[in-house]
Amino acid sequence: DWNMPDYVAEAVARIREQVGSDEVILGLSGGVDSSVAAALIHKAIGDQLTCVFVDHGLLRLNEAEQVMNTMSRHLGIRVIHVDAGEQFLSKLAGVADPEAKRKIIGREFVEVFQTESAKLKSARWLAQGTIYPDVIESAASKTGKAVAIKSHHNVGGLPETLNLKLLEPLRELFKDEVRHLGLALGLPPEMVFRHPFPGPGLGVRILGEVKPVYADLLRRADDIFITELRNTIEPESGKSWYELTSQAFTVFLPVKSVGVMGDGRTYDYVVALRAVQTTDFMTADWAELPYSLLKRVSSRIINEVRGINRVTYDVSSKPPATIEWE
Ligand code: XMP
């Protein structure tokens, strides 16, 4: 059995012993693992920890503000917010291939992180939110997307070039243990129980070339979908549809379809809603969301997001489809 206060006290003592009076850098993504790692290390060593939050401009609506609010203002952690959106978007201009986009985002991410970290000259440690399943996965050494996930998320190669030692306080924990630890450390439940979000962010949810206007439309449509999922309770379980799904998001399709508005004709973009249920993300079923919920989301998106006139729902399971569209 797992006693949380004892666990926190032990973990804190271990970190203090490990790093002593050294300074530590941590790459904050806004995801659960890096946020919990940051909160834990901060509890242990306070301002000896500096987090670097690389904002690649492909985050969801208000996401950067939320990360800064929670981590910096609420928990009092030192966070350097690097607003690199323009840099990423200019590197992505004209690139349509999904793996090429992943590579560019991954490479740029490492470069920006490295530049920022190099400024923190006194740092001796690089902290990462590596959890137990990551350790197993790396050992199993996968190919394809899994490699992309690793190379992006674990900021590969940084320790060698920056000459930093690795601090990975969550290495022994499973995801649900990380979530409990996060709650115990004062992270809000909305953050701790968030659906996973891919490292390349909206970069792989805008099919083909990523353009700033597409990203803006997608952010607004996706925010409506997620808000409605959070606010719609399934009566039998008493849970929201956000809780009842494992991952849900909106995909931007760069095609135009015809619609009508008043007396006029529209010729606007299309989005697809995606919601799946899965335990391991290796296979997944599309979620049987209530029609009333889909109806509300669709009419809100079409009425509120000028530039989108058609909403579709993805009824493909994995395999043979993947969860993401790219
Ligand atoms: P797929 O689309 O392969 O997704 O069924 C399985 C899970 O992996 C996530 N995913 C990624 N995560 N970088 C990431 O950090 C990536 O490039 C990437 N591609 C897919 C996806 O969101 C889902 O949770």
Q: Which segments within the chain are labelled E, that is strand?
A: 23-28, 49-55, 78-83, 123-127, 165-167, 233-234, 239-240, 247-261, 264-277, 285-286, 308-313
Ligand 1, atom 4: nearest CA belongs to which residue? 323
Residue 129 lies in a domain: yes
Residue 24 lies in a domain: yes
Q: Give yes or no: residues 40 and 113 share one domain.
A: yes
- Ligand 1 atom with minimal separation from the 148 CA: 17
Structure tokens at 182: 């996060």
**Pick from 1-5, 97-101, 240-244: least confident:** 1-5
Q: Give yes or no: residues 157 and 235 share one domain.
A: no
CA 209 to chain centre: 20
Range of the domain at 299: 205-313
Instruction: Output the pLDDT for position 151.
Output: 45
DSSP state of 318: B
Q: Give yes or no: residues 161 and 210 share one domain.
A: no
| Residue (of 140, 135, 131) closest to 175 by Cα position | 131
Residue 279 burial class via C-beta count within 10 angstroms: exposed 0-12, middle 13-18, buried 19 and up: exposed
Ligand 1, atom 24: nearest CA belongs to which residue? 196
Choose the final residue of a domain: 192, 226, 247: 192
Domain of 28: which CATH number?
Answer: 3.40.50.620
Q: Give yes or no: residues 172 and 215 share one domain.
A: no
Q: Give yes or no: residues 95 and 34 share one domain.
A: yes
Q: Give yes or no: residues 181 and 233 share one domain.
A: no
Q: Give yes or no: residues 230 and 176 share one domain.
A: no
The verdict on the CB of residue 152 being under 6 Å from ligand 1 is yes
> What are residue 28's DSSP bridge partners?
53
The verdict on the CB of residue 103 being under 6 Å from ligand 1 is no
Largest CA distance in the chain: 71
Choose the final residue of a domain: 192, 221, 240: 192
Residue 146 pLDDT > 70: no
Residue 150: pLDDT band (50, 70, 90) is: very low
- Ligand 1 atom with minimal separation from the 102 CA: 17
| Residue (of 17, 19, 30) closest to 166 by Cα position | 19
Residue 132 pLDDT > 60: yes
Choose the final residue of a domain: 163, 192, 221: 192
Q: Give yes or no: residues 28 and 152 share one domain.
A: yes
Read off the pLDDT of each residue in 45-50 and give the average, rounded to a whole number: 98
Residue 5 pLDDT > 90: no
| Segments in 30-174 forming alpha helices (H) | 32-45, 63-67, 85-92, 98-119, 132-140, 145-153, 158-162
Q: Give yes or no: residues 156 and 299 share one domain.
A: no
**Alpha carbon distance 323, 285 (integer Å):** 9
Instruction: Output the pLDDT for position 1.
Output: 58
Read off the pLDDT of each residue in 199-219 and give the average, rounded to a whole number: 98
- Ligand 1 atom with minimal separation from the 318 CA: 5
CA 266 to chain centre: 33
Q: Give yes or no: residues 36 and 152 share one domain.
A: yes
Residue 154: pLDDT band (50, 70, 90) is: very low
Distance 324 CA to ligand 1 centre (A): 6
Residue 26 lies in a domain: yes
Structure tokens at 278: 């899965």
Structure tokens at 222: 């996706």
